[in-house]
Structure 1
Amino acid sequence: MKIVDLGDFTVDTQARRLYRQSEELAAEPKVIEVLCYFIQHADRFVSLQELHQQVWQGRVVTDTAVRRTISKLRTLLGDNDTEQPKYIRSQMKRGYQLVCPALPGEEPAVQSHAAVETNAAKKNKLIQSHWLKQLVAGSVVSALVLVVAFVLLASPVHLHTDYLQVELDIPGQKASLALSPDGHYQAFVGRVNSGDKWQLYLHNRQKGQLAKVSTPVPHVRFVDFVANGAAMAYVGFRQNVAELYIQPVADLAAKPQQYVLPGLSILAGPLALPNNQMLIAGGESYNGNIHYYQLDISTGQYSQFSF
């Protein structure tokens, strides 16, 4: 079979292409090759050794590299439940097997080149819009600083300091400041002493209340408001491995939801997008490439956004 319907996906095994609802998905070549090999041998388990020999064709790669490729395939298919897999199951000492029926399919009605370019342009416009807002905000802040400096230098005698107000005065260091879209909340990470771990804080600006947010991960470094300000997305580290959580703002006692991005041990800079979407920077190591990934908060599925 050249064209195979696989659950919510369509696979062109000859051209090595993967589609979902007529939209081609970006994936590494080895990821698609492993999927096609699983389809070809769907009646049995495929061992790691066989994948080494048939997919990597004798190239020297570690078992970890092969497992990472399979993990990327599962993520691409949204198959993250290892106990009840929808597409690929694994069994110790036997290997992996495709559990979703692979049925003969029809050539997908792929979007035209113009439509693909239009979608890409929309994504780029969205990113550019966000960074433009950040640039404008930074320019406004810089302008205000210059104005204040000019006033201080030009007329120090007439400066009315009673107009200045400290909004939040707590000791220690603070970083990764985020403001909710309605301006109701501020979120930031902070620590009192340089040897302490960074903790997550939420400031209710209307009530003037500051709350330290309990987090499953001991060392929080990045935070932003997502879901139109209804939740905080924060990244913490446990033994140099990043973990991503989303915490509802309305109930800080609720258990936060963890989002696992297999293969990405480094995460940074969560960034809110409309429609329950967010961007997050990620990579396999500090020395490797860092890319942006788009995450759907409602489903937990994500895809590489920048290349």
Structure 2
Amino acid sequence: MAKSYRFADFTLLVNQTLSKSGVELTIEPQVLTVLVYLIENNDRYISTQELHDALWQGRVVSDTAIRRAVGKLRVILGDDAKEPNFIKSVSKRGYRFVAELSANETVDLKADEFAISATEINHNRGRLYFIVSAIFISCCLLYYFFWNQPSFTPRLLSEKIDFPGDKVALSSSIDGSQIVFASQVHQVDGYQLFKYLPANNTLQQLTTNQHNVVSSAIINNDSQLVFVDFILGQCSIKILQLDKGNINKIKVLVDGFYLISDVVAIAGEAGFYFNGLKESNGNTQLYYYDTALQTVIPISKEFIVGEHTYKTAVSPNAELLATITLHDVNNQHEIRIKDRHSQSVLKRYYHPSSIYDIEWLDAHTLVILDSIAMTSINLASGEKKQLLNKHNITEISVGKKRGLIALQNEISSGYFTEYNIEQSQLVNAKIIDSSKSVLQIRYIGSGESYLLYKKNHDQYDVILKENNQEKILFSSTKKLRIIDFNLAEQQLLLKLDNRYLLVDIKSSEKIYITQPDQFISDTANFSSDNDFILYAEKSRQGWRIIQYEIKTGLKSELFQGFKIIKPRPEGYILIDEDDGVVQYDKATEQFKKLDIELLKELNSQWVLLDKDLYWMSFDLGNKYLNKFDILTEKLQRFTVDSTLSDLNFDLNNTGTKVVVKVGAHKNTEIVSLPSCCF
């Protein structure tokens, strides 16, 4: 027996179907499970994290994916997020099903879950049921053997794709010379397309303003790329030329679809297949796009209520189709092997759970990916082999020499990214370094060169990076921090052992300028003329600013009552013990308090470039780069990625670039699954 629920005009058969006024509705399996979970826990709010843990079975997915599932559910139910009748959401609490419910017990039409089984097509439906039942019993006997087949571990592509973040819509050219994927650049809305060339290890951005690319395919002898731009209710398929450089003109081929789930290439042809839903209350069906006629051709000859084809793959010789169809009545997923030209069904395979992806390795071998395992089936012999178990693979695609490449989710450490500052916004974010070993990055000059602070096993290195060449300037077995760099004199100021250390790069001379028992801040600077080092120290009498003369080693007190100093040609910007910001003019020897407020933490970072003062701040979950003109006292705020791991940053000497660090995030790696493993 299975439980069913009624609410408003809807009837939900748990884990099977959702119908309205007796008419079955089209709903993705994962979206249906979200609805069931909300209904069965309708006495409380369900957080995004709880939905992730309960329904995504350990898979690494973004909060956006969960919100998208809830959004699709609202569309299906006709619910308004602002005035909800069914699903109410409250910030920081989650979602709650609020409609009045009635529950009943119904006959469970879903068969017991069983491993993938195969049967030759038989037009006598009664005989087909008998064969399926017999194979089910056989598979139960083979269960232990099947699930204990040896597996292997995916490996990263030998050519590391240095682009962290979530990735989707993976596709590859026939010879493996081009790999295409879609990714989200930080928190900018929409997934954009990128092309990776393994031969020279280069990455090109192909699109900039698409909504959400969810599927892609390289067609027409690897010269063109077609992709699905997903907006629920307004999905389209677009095309671009792969040989036109970076970003080029995009043309719409197919539009007017409520939903399009994938697009599939055909070896040696310019046409392609796709699975789409014309109307929200219809069925997802297979279509072919004829590029010569510029026409969409339905492949399904008849409309069958409760059947939804959502994945398709074409065999390497372009003779066979493999399609995945969901049956609403029992939530079973059927793989049909068809003759591509006659559309006659040659074999059927049944699967108890949703299938993420499907690919052909050769004319006889099919690879199936679900939430638990990756399995291959030899159609000629019927041999089944489990390739991976308990994986984090989300997509597969045929790569070089008929091996597979795949997307594998993981949690990654932070990475450094660079923004260009243009007028009132930060634009054109790019990754500077994503290796786990880099702990700090500082600009040198205009920003074409960098100082990197890296951990290398048990050693900490300060490295100069110019023209993609790295040179170690200083090494230590203890943690340190880059404080400032004097480009003209080639001098490096570090904080090591809670002391300021001056390193002369040319002579390798090292001088500690403070003592271990002194309490000093994390902020110090070379003076504007590079003759002094300015820093703050604290005693029983309070904070004071010290001026250290580099040539003689002599120290003198510059100011009392200030804990941070930044030099400028006309004077200094200081922070007093009450966190007030003060401007000092050398010519008049006058102090002027500025009407701004910086972070109160002692070691919060701020940068002074001529007359502009920069610092980071946060407000209600948002993070900002602030720019304050100390002459006009005008403040500008630039919104930055809210996933920044801290409020530290650096600017180039022209104030046109800023480098920040993004914290731990969900990351997708492109991995290879070599053909020898199949």
Category of TM-score, reference length = shorter chain: 0.3 to 0.5
Normalising by structure 2, what TM-score?
Answer: 0.23
Structure with the largest fraction of strand: 2
Normalising by structure 1, what TM-score?
Answer: 0.46
Larger radius of gyration: 2
